[in-house]
Amino acid sequence: MSTYGIDLGTTYSCIARLDSNGNPEVIRNNEDNSNTLASVVFFENENNVIVGQVAKDNIETDGHRVVQFVKREIGKPTNRTYEFDDKVYTPVEISALILTRLKNIVESQGDTIDDVVITVPAYFGLEERSATKQAGELAGLNVLSLINEPTAAALSYCARQFQEDRTILVYDLGGGTFDVTIIKMSMTEEGGVQKIKVLATGGEDVLGGKDWDDKLYDFILRACCEENGLSPEDLDAETRQDIRSKVEESKRKLSQKEKAKVRIDVNGSRTEIVITRKDFELMTADLVGRTMNYVESTLQKVPDIEIDTVLLVGGSTYMPMIKEAVEARFPGKVQQHDPDQAVAKGAAIYASMLGLAVENDTADETGSESSDDIPTDDKRAELAAKFTVEDQTPRSFGPGVVDTKGTKHKYILENFIKIGEKMPAIATKTYYPIEDNQERVRLRAFENMSMDDSLIPCVNEEGEPQATDPAHNVKLLGELIVNLPPNTPKTTKIQVTFKVDASGVHVEAINTATGDKFETFLRTASDVDIDNSAVHQLRISSD
Ligand code: ADP
Ligand code: MG
């Protein structure tokens, strides 16, 4: 039995475990001759579903039967589905196909895979997290936990070298997303335990290696047309697919060499195009600039912070132009080790730590495992003692309540718990019924990206949609109905508690006059079942 760490990426996924010396190692995808697996699924026909490079090679010619970038859809309110051969697939099911393929890679090399940790972006909300976990379960994996990608990258980095207190900026440029995360790693007084805490996140989910590919594709396509005196419309689908399939390879070559040659069959005649690294850097300079702007705006979220180390993560940081730009901004602070594998390796370290805890819990019944392939318990205990990953709230949470001060009542969201608090996070506040003899209270729970104490939510007290700053990403999670006994005065104190942990939000309301307790557990926004027949709310002040 082994525990594995999985980086379920937007464009490439990767799976790793600890070797017998306790060092993280990636399980190679021999079929594609790569350390990673393209997160692309090709539904060739009803009996044949292909995941990986072969699926990716079919994008241009059979694009209508190929699914890519599914991570952008997982757990999103759009509820997008994909239909092939009269079967409908959800993003969770497509993700499960990718995870199953990773599982098969491990099994084809003679190991069994039981417990896993899957990584998610630091900015994923509860719903995206819960959907990712579901995908793992659907693939037959026991998901011990999820871990934030930059935290995993920092774990793999600090497994390499002993660290004192550090503030780390993780610059993660992948295939389809760019994430900046500022992380604090600290040592506790006793016994050198590392703590990892996320301080700020930023970036864009439609900026990545694909944008560099697109620029190169346009460049090669134009060059082919010029060489052959054609216009772009004259190129057939095969020629386009030929260019598309060579773009990424040429980009990778340019990370190592000053020049790359591409041979394309243009309508039957062979055309050779030479691209220099300089050309490539010139045509993509604006993209590099955009990433650096996100670095600056994320730094502004934590004023006066001093960055000690910058970690380059994500396959696209292999491009020399990235390292140069980041080095110029943070001279002498940049580190880069296996950028496309660091996240999976960190997840493997974490999985092993958690796996050890699980085994210790059940050791009496099962006895301890011994195998040459898995690290010794001593080695794992050493690792487990070294780090604690402080789980933090990925969003802010709170109830919608009415502010009755002033001439006009205002329905507002009060943030009880804010992004980045240590989980489980718990907060309580007292509210009051709006009027005497109110029969019930409909207490709505929201998640959002704001650090403000209060804000306007995305619905008003009647449950109608409201204009709200999209950057705050306010989402209604659900509601708790609190029934009040007859003749309840409006001065009755109703104590509201929110408790957030990795599995969801627990909302509780206690009528302090009667001791009646009402509670609900909200895991995802799909739990929402709003009844708009009557308006019954709570107000902030007693006067
Ligand atoms: P994800 O974004 O899915 O987490 P990765 O971090 O593995 O995936 O990044 C994938 C991106 O990295 C792809 O756009 C790929 O083309 C690019 N990439 C991988 N290796 C190189 C390389 N040597 N040079 C340039 N780009 C690379
Ligand atoms: Mg990634």
CATH number of the domain residue 78 falls in? 3.30.420.40
Task: Please write the tens of the pLDDT for every residue from 188-197.
Answer: 655 555 677 8
| Secondary structure of 299-365 as H, E, C letters | HCCCCCCCCCEEEEECHHHHCHHHHHHHHHHCCCCEECCCCCCHHHHHHHHHHHHHHHHHHHHHHHH
Q: How far apart are CA 383 and CA 356, in angstroms?
A: 10
- pLDDT at 171 > cutoff 70: yes
Task: Please write the tens of the pLDDT for every residue from 142-153.
Answer: 999 888 899 899
Which pair of structure tokens corresponds to residue 420? 């980045």
Q: Are 89 and 39 members of one domain?
A: yes
The ligand 1 atom nearest the CA atom of 71: 3
Ligand nearest the Cα of residue 174 is 1
Q: Are 235 and 127 members of one domain?
A: no
Kindly indicate the confidence band of residue 526, based on its pLDDT and cuts at 50, 70 and 90.
very low
- pLDDT at 382 > cutoff 80: no
- pLDDT at 390 > cutoff 90: no
Kindly indicate the confidence band of residue 359, based on its pLDDT and cuts at 50, 70 and 90.
low
Angle between helix 237-256 and 277-299 (nearest 10): 70
The per-residue pLDDT for 533 is: 33
Q: Are 102 and 231 members of one domain?
A: no
Nearest-CA residue for atom 19 of ligand 1: 315
Nearest-CA residue for atom 23 of ligand 1: 252
Rounded distance from Cα 306 to ligand 1 centre (Å): 29
pTM score, whole prediction: 0.82
Q: Are 197 and 224 members of one domain?
A: no
Cβ neighbors of 231 (< 8 A, separation 6 or more) are: 225
Q: How far apart are CA 412 and CA 429, in angstroms?
A: 15
Q: For the residues 421-440, what does the mean pLDDT come to?
A: 92
Q: Which of 390, 422, 450 is the last residue of a domain?
A: 390
Task: Please write the tens of the pLDDT for every residue from 85-101.
Answer: 999 999 999 999 999 99
The ligand 1 atom nearest the CA atom of 256: 23
Q: Are 402 and 528 members of one domain?
A: yes
478 lines ligand 1 (CB under 6 A): no
Q: Are 324 and 467 members of one domain?
A: no
Strand partners, 417: 397
CATH of residue 224's domain is 3.90.640.10
Rounded distance from Cα 429 to ligand 1 centre (Å): 47
Ligand nearest the Cα of residue 211 is 1
Q: Are 95 and 151 members of one domain?
A: yes
Q: How far apart are CA 117 and CA 5, in angstroms?
A: 5
Which of 72, 102, 205, 340 for a ligand 1 pocket mutation test, highest count of atoms within 8 Å of Cβ?
340
Task: Please write the tens of the pLDDT for every residue from 474-506.
Answer: 888 889 999 999 999 999 999 999 999 877 889
The per-residue pLDDT for 464 is: 76
203 lines ligand 1 (CB under 6 A): no
The per-residue pLDDT for 427 is: 97
Q: Are 254 and 298 members of one domain?
A: no
Q: Are 335 and 407 members of one domain?
A: no
Q: Which of 220, 250, 283 is the last residue of a domain?
A: 283
Residues 135 and 95 sit within 8 Å (Cβ to Cβ): yes
- pLDDT at 322 > cutoff 60: yes
- Supply the mean pLDDT for the chain: 87
Q: Are 185 and 220 members of one domain?
A: no
Residues 429 and 414 sit within 8 Å (Cβ to Cβ): yes
Q: In angstroms, how far is CA 398 from the centroid of its own chain? A: 22
Ligand nearest the Cα of residue 148 is 2
Q: Are 96 and 74 members of one domain?
A: yes
- 276-315 in b/e form (b: 16+ CB < 10 A) is ebeebbeebeebbeebbebbeebbeeeeeeebbbbbbbbb
Q: Which of 283, 305, 324 is the last residue of a domain?
A: 283
69 lines ligand 1 (CB under 6 A): no
Amino acid at 50: I
Rounded distance from Cα 17 to ligand 2 centre (Å): 17
- pLDDT at 117 > cutoff 80: yes
Rounded distance from Cα 340 to ligand 2 centre (Å): 7
319 lines ligand 1 (CB under 6 A): yes
Q: Are 514 and 373 members of one domain?
A: no
Percent of the chain with pLDDT over 70: 88
The ligand 1 atom nearest the CA atom of 176: 2
How many structural domains compose the chain? 3
Domain that holds residue 262: 209-283
Percent of the chain with pLDDT over 90: 60
Kindly indicate the confidence band of residue 353, based on its pLDDT and cuts at 50, 70 and 90.
confident
150 lines ligand 1 (CB under 6 A): no
- pLDDT at 207 > cutoff 90: yes
Kindly indicate the confidence band of residue 347, based on its pLDDT and cuts at 50, 70 and 90.
very high
Amino acid at 296: E
Nearest-CA residue for atom 26 of ligand 1: 316
Task: Please write the tens of the pLDDT for every residue from 248-271.
Answer: 999 999 999 999 999 998 877 899
